[in-house]
Structure 1
């Protein structure tokens, strides 16, 4: 049976005894009803993984002994950055969760001209904290040991400036009118830019082109804002990454 996996922000050193954070401790003790001597798997978000044994359970405090520390290679050879416009409801949660499973290394939420979500700085910060927790949960489920970086939401122009300074080998903006120029046979890093429900304005597409983005059409159908980034990441991982076709 696979060991349950949990994230911890603490250093995982062979032979160390640590007390897990409140959230995983509650899940271990109350939801899973695990017991002393049970085994589990821990990861620290930087690529390190360790097996551990429960030594004590006391309400919201679970103590473990750390064993068998390793850095198994589970990251894709393709470094992907997803730039995604904020969207309503739980769509962003779905995008963050599934993009994490698909191996995305960075997620840059951005606010474009037709973005329907307008939040103040405090609520945006809370949203970012929430998305980080969603990513942690996705890593626990899918077996990744490295957490994706989730950037603070930024304006479209600022995001394009940031992308232009990034050393990505390829920059694609998903657009239903993309001309689909031939893609390279090899690619080690990609920035994928996806718009809001209403799409990008013509001026935004032009600005993206000026920042080095190539307009790319995934297919004959117009995909929803929560479908397009996941389809794009899957295609990229199948072509240049570690998804089998």
Structure 2
């Protein structure tokens, strides 16, 4: 399989372009040579075949040859509103959520959050997480890259969601909740195109935070009798959505 690279740039057949530094370094690490083929994608849909035409010590130039309209995205655009776990576990969550098809990830600071970010440190982290998502999209065959939103408080994220009445909201909860399979049948039939999933940090959302999220119309769902880690629970939702045929969601 040819190397896959994400380019944040317009692509068109017969265009010749120089790869940005990171992509060029990737090609050189793989020891690819002029005449060999790579795959490019820019998040606008599908993939582009390209041929390496020139290589310098630190530069790589390619010619775009043809477009393949392939799509490998979930039929529902899922946004994860995730309480940030500590250490590097949020990197892992973003990587795996990208592989499983998340359309966007909104990092939020909650009452029980260990990781608390703001200002320039939060923006540097967001840029790092966006790079993690790009690498995971390249590896997994995604044709689109999830958008990593700026770090917000849960209340800020909920206020933004309240203005988007067309998108169903799910709350992962250990309190009274409907099993996810039943909620899928109730909420995701009839051509629903988007979904927002709220998942708490270590220790989950506080009672006040659950009340806040329920207050914007979020429906509480249960993932079963076991307690999943903060970085595991939202992935279980994405995996279930990806493995359930569209016809079953509407039944």
TM-score by length of 2: 0.91
Counterpart of 1:233 in structure 2 is 238
SS of equivalent residue, structure 2 residue 244 = helix
Q: Deviations over 1:98-136 (max 9, x none)?
A: 111111111111111111112231111011111111111
The 5-angstrom pairing of residues 201-216 of structure 1 reads 201-216=206-221
Q: Deviations over 1:27-66 (max 9, x none)?
A: 111x201111111101112224211111111122100010
Counterpart of 1:18 in structure 2 is 17
Runs of 4+ in 1 over 4 A off after TM superposition: none
Query: Quick one: distance in 1 between partners of 2:8 and 2:241?
Result: 30
Q: Give the number of equivalent residue pairs.
A: 241
Indicate if the aligned counterparts of 2:87 and 2:115 stay in contact, CA closer than 8 A. no
- Cα shift at 1:75: 1.8
Counterpart of 2:95 in structure 1 is 97
User: Are positions 1:222 and 2:227 aligned together?
Assistant: yes
Counterpart of 1:28 in structure 2 is 27
Query: Quick one: distance in 1 between partners of 2:155 and 2:37?
Result: 48
User: Are positions 1:123 and 2:121 aligned together?
Assistant: yes
Query: Which 10-residue stretch deviates more, 125-134 or 44-53?
Result: 44-53
TM-score by length of 1: 0.93
Q: Deviations over 1:169-220 (max 9, x none)?
A: 4211111123216421614321110001021111111111111111111010
Q: Deviations over 1:71-118 (max 9, x none)?
A: 322222111110001121111111111111111111111111111112
Query: Quick one: distance in 2 between partners of 1:126 and 1:200?
Result: 25
Counterpart of 2:83 in structure 1 is 85
Which residues of structure 1 form unaligned runs of 5+? none
User: Are positions 1:37 and 2:42 aligned together?
Assistant: no
CA RMSD of aligned residues (A): 1.8
Query: Which 10-residue stretch deviates more, 221-230 or 66-75?
Result: 66-75
- Cα shift at 1:167: 4.2
User: Are positions 1:199 and 2:198 aligned together?
Assistant: no
Query: Quick one: distance in 2 between partners of 1:125 and 1:241?
Result: 37
Query: Quick one: distance in 1 between partners of 2:176 and 2:3?
Result: 44
Query: Quick one: distance in 2 between partners of 1:241 and 1:4?
Result: 31
Indicate if the aligned counterparts of 2:45 and 2:143 stay in contact, CA closer than 8 A. yes
Query: Quick one: distance in 1 between partners of 2:44 and 2:165?
Result: 21
Query: Which 10-residue stretch deviates more, 169-178 or 190-199?
Result: 169-178
